[in-house]
Amino acid sequence: MPRIVKTAASNRGLQAIGAPPGNPARRFFAQLKDNTRFARTRALAPRPALPPVTTPFYDAIILGAGAAGLFCAAQAGQRGLKVLLIDHAPKVAEKIRISGGGRCNFTNRELDVRQPHKHFVGRNPQFCRSALSRYTPADFIALMDRHGIAHHEKHKGQLFADRSAEDIIAMLLAECAAGGVERWQPCKVNSVSYQRGEHGAAGVYQLTTDQGPASAANLVIATGGLSIPKIGATDFGYRLAQQFDLPLVERSPGLVPLTFDGAAWEPYAQLSGLALPVEISTGSKKERMAFHEDLLFTHRGLSGPAVLQISSYWQPGTPLSINLAPNVDLAAALAQAKLRSRKLIANELATWLPSRLADAWVAQDAEWQRPVAEASDKAFNRLAERLSRWEITPNGSEGYKKAEVTLGGVDTRALSQQSMECKDQPGLFCIGEVVDITGWLGGYNFQWAWASAFACAHSLKPATTRL
């Protein structure tokens, strides 16, 4: 081992790199040894635990940023509640955006809150009476007026924004901002659990999401139905309802075009694009339902307001009855024409029906393809009967991809009609389309969204404990 020779020069060098004066070498190496021992001891010692990640807590978390969810969040926030609004889609209120040809048929003046079953479908349409009477079309119109959004009535009480549905979305977002609503979007909810409180304390809903955990005293399911999946519709709300043992009424497409098999529809496929006013009905006796609206022929079947309306009442395997000339007594009109006209029957029919429809109809029977004066009374009666009572049985519908709403949903027997809260699950609420309440075409479903959201928002209780 080489011998270390200590010199004054080496001592000065040690002092230059930090060795203490007075026997510099020995003291420097002793200090170095102590520092090494301290470092080892520090590495082996248990480190203090990091503070736990704080889960944000809210008075209410609302799932779904559609019409019902946005309006509920705004109302609750403006009551002073701390509200979080979550939606998995990148944009809010897509159904508002596309409805009414981009102008949103936001309510209907003709809604009769005393007889809600007139305009709503479900196992118990009377359920919606309380909410609809507390927040009426006039209330939402007043909100539109406060925001300076011009609107107009189209027909049968249907109200539309003058400019764009975007104005209504902007209004709802402004109302949420006024209530201090926090929004996570797009944000997927991965799990939902419920922790019951102890000693009478309120329970807590705990969520894990793509943006982290969140918890609340109240949870509102405003996730909508299955209709129009291309804008983000899913069954999440129904799965969540099942998780908490809420009964569901079978779901099916509503306000949807109806289809027919190829052979039955072949004589009418050429009429695609043709529209006319009709009377359409389905069912019999007390179950019969009828509408006077416009019908539209398509390549695969029938659409238009008349068919969308009747689709909510039609049962698979049953026929539709359609009067293609509801404002004319065709038998009497044809009998009069026989006395004075030399036209072909198709040309005479074109007085009351679109000519394309008249041509397609007479092509089905040789006795109808002749001049009016040469036709037998029997042939006329058969023609008039067929046009005024056209019976045809759909083989299905265009499904959720074309349906405007979803029939069925959370059974209203499980909910309070005053608050929309689940009777057997405290702090859990269901509003809007996820509930088994479906309105007619013409703004009724949006009014149900506003009314059910209002009832819920004004029933939410602020948290009393935080876990």
Stretch (H or E) spanning 107: strand 105-108
Residue 347, in any domain of the structure? yes
- Identity of the amino acid at 325: A
Query: Do residues 406 and 393 both lie within one domain?
Result: no
pLDDT computed for residue 286 by the predictor: 87
For residue 100, give every residue at least 6 positions away whose Cβ sits within 8 Å of its Cβ, in sequence order, or none. 106, 160, 161, 165
Q: Checking DSSP bridges between strand 182-184 and strand 158-161, what pairing results, if any? A: unpaired
Per the prediction, the chain carries an average pLDDT of 89
If asked whether residues 240 and 92 sit together in one domain, one would say yes
| 391 and 440, same domain (yes or no) | no
| Weakest-pLDDT range from 24-38, 130-144, 313-327, 357-371 | 24-38
d(CA 49, CA 265): 73
| 26 — pLDDT class (breaks 50, 70, 90) | low
| Residue 92 to residue 66: CA distance in whole angstroms | 6
pLDDT in tens, 210-226: 999 999 999 999 999 99
Q: Alpha-carbon Rg of the chain, whole angstroms?
A: 35
pLDDT for 392 beyond 80: yes
Q: What is the pLDDT of residues 197-209, one digit of tens each?
A: 776 677 999 999 9
The reply to whether 10 falls in a domain is no
Query: CB neighbours (10 Å) of residue 247?
Result: 12
Is the pLDDT at 33 greater than 80? The verdict is no
- The yes-or-no verdict on residue 465 having pLDDT over 50 is no
CATH number of the structural domain spanning residue 310:
2.40.30.10
Q: Which long-range contacts (CB under 8 A, 24 or more apart) does 260-268 make?
A: 260/300, 260/301, 260/302, 260/392, 260/393, 260/394, 260/395, 261/395, 264/392, 264/393, 264/395, 265/300, 265/301, 267/360, 267/363, 267/364, 268/297, 268/360
d(CA 10, CA 28) in angstroms, rounded, equals 12
Is residue 20 in a domain? no
300 and 322 housed in the same domain: yes
Beta-bridge partner residues of 60? 83, 218
Measure the CA–CA gap between 21 and 23, rounded to whole angstroms: 6
Evaluate if residue 366 carries a pLDDT over 50.
yes
Task: Say how far apart CA 313 and CA 415 lie, in whole Å.
Answer: 24
Is residue 199 domain-shared with residue 245, that is, in the same domain?
yes
Only one residue has tokens 């559609």, namely 66
Confidence of residue 410 (pLDDT cuts 50, 70, 90): very high
**Which of 180, 203, 208 has its CA nearest to residue 192?**
208
Question: In this structure, are residues 394 and 314 in contact, taking their beta carbons and an 8 Å threshold?
Answer: yes
pLDDT at 372 over 90: yes
pLDDT in tens, 241-278: 999 999 999 999 999 999 999 888 998 999 999 999 99
- Whether residue 370 contacts residue 324, with contact meaning beta carbons closer than 8 Å, is answered with no
Last residue of a domain, one of 397, 422, 445: 397
Which CATH number belongs to the domain containing residue 190 in this structure?
3.50.50.60
- The answer as to whether 131 is a domain residue is yes
Does position 454 have pLDDT exceeding 50, yes or no?
Answer: yes
Question: Within a domain: residue 393?
Answer: yes
Q: Which H or E run contains 142? A: helix 137-146
Are 252 and 408 in contact, with CB atoms under 8 Å apart?
A: yes
Same domain, 130 and 109: yes
Can you give the residue range of the structural domain that contains 170?
57-252+402-457
Q: Enter the DSSP assignment of 47.
A: P
Burial classification of residue 387, based on how many CB atoms lie within 10 Å of its CB (0-12 exposed, 13-18 middle, 19 or more buried): buried
Share of the chain above pLDDT 70, in %: 87
- pLDDT of 22 > 80? The answer is no
Residues 291 and 391 in one domain: yes
Q: Quote the Cα angle for 15-16-20, to 5°.
A: 25
Within a domain: 28: no
Q: Worst-scoring range by mean pLDDT, 8-12, 117-121, 381-385?
A: 8-12
Banded pLDDT at 51 (limits 50, 70, 90): very low
- The answer on 362 and 289 residing in a single domain is yes
Count of the separate structural domains present in the chain: 2
The pLDDT of residue 32: 42
As a whole number of angstroms, the distance between CA 462 and CA 444 comes to: 31
Position 186 in a domain: yes
Average the pLDDT over each of 4-8, 316-320, 326-330, 371-375 and give the range with the smallest value: 4-8
Please tell me the predicted confidence (pLDDT) of residue 47. Answer: 37
- Cβ atoms of 303 and 278 closer than 8 Å: no
pLDDT of 437 strictly over 50: yes
Q: Based on the domain organization, do 237 and 291 belong to the same domain?
A: no
Instruction: Choose one of 370, 397, 424: the last residue of a domain.
Output: 397
Say if 174 falls within a structural domain: yes
Whether residue 413 sits in one domain with residue 372: no
pLDDT at 125 over 60: yes
What is the per-residue pLDDT for 49?
38
| pLDDT for 55 beyond 60 | yes
Question: Which helix H or strand E contains 384, and what residues bound it?
Answer: helix 377-388
Do 345 and 216 belong together in one domain? no
Are 311 and 423 part of one and the same domain? no
